Amino acid sequence: MEYFGKKEDLSFVEKKGFKYIRLVKRKRLLAQLEELASKLDIQIRREKLGQARGGLCRIEERFVIIINKDLSDSSQIELLSQELARFDTNEMYLLPEVRESLERKKKDE
């Protein structure tokens, strides 16, 4: 299993196994959504935005998703899924958890 945290966090794993598994799944999904954005030629930028979450915009003919760097992983996943769901990914291979996350956001609209 991949681990995206710090080595000192491994003691946390021994004490809180299920939380660790959820953490790894969130980190992996976030990385997969970022990879999808890259394949769609969408730049992701993380910036201090105060109370704003961020969102999709176009800068000089290029799509950019700006994310508030203070957001939790779960909130970043929600934002990326929401913005990436706007694009046609039907012909692309996506891991099931990525497609599920996008489809959930499409239903919410």
- List, as one string, the DSSP characters of the chain: ----S-GGGHHHHHH-HHHHHHHHHHHHHHHHHHHHHHHTT-EEEEE--TT--EEEEEETTEEEEEEETTS-HHHHHHHHHHHHTTS--TTS---HHHHHHHHHHHHH-
Domains of the chain by start residue, with CATH: 7-108 (3.30.2010)
* 46-103: pLDDT as tens digits: 999 999 999 999 999 999 999 999 999 999 999 999 999 999 999 999 998 999 999 9
Verdict on whether the full-model pTM lies above 0.95: no
**How high is the pLDDT of residue 93?**
92
The residue among 67 and 16 whose pLDDT is bigger is: 67
pLDDT band at 2 (very low <50, low <70, confident <90, very high): very low
